[in-house]
Amino acid sequence: MIGGSETTILIPSSTTMESRDERIRTLKVGTIARAAAVFRVDRIVIYRDPEFDDSRFISRVLQYAETPQYLRKRLFPRERALRYVGVLPPLRTPHHPTSSKVSTLKVGEFRVGLVVDEVGSDNGAWVDIGVERPLPLKTASRYRAGQRLNVRVFSLKPLAAEPVDRSEIPHYWGYETEVIPNLDEHVSSTESLVVATSRVGAPATPDILRQTVRQGRRRGLEVVFGSPARGVDAFLSSETMEGCCVINTIPHQGTETVRLEEAIVATLAQVNLMRSLEG
Q: pLDDT tens digits for 106-130? A: 999 999 999 997 654 456 789 999 9
Closest CA to 58 of 20, 88, 21, 16: 16
DSSP summary character for residue 172: -
What is d(CA 245, CA 207) in angstroms, rounded to the nearest whole number? 13
Over pLDDT 90: what percentage of the chain? 88
Q: pLDDT tens digits for 177-222? A: 999 999 999 999 999 999 999 999 999 999 999 999 999 999 999 9
Q: Is the pLDDT of residue 1 over 60?
A: no
By CB atoms closer than 10 A (0-12, 13-18, 19+), residue 183 is buried
Max CA pair span of the chain: 65
**Residue 107: predicted pLDDT:** 96
pTM score, whole prediction: 0.94
Q: pLDDT tens digits for 131-155? A: 999 999 987 678 888 999 999 999 9
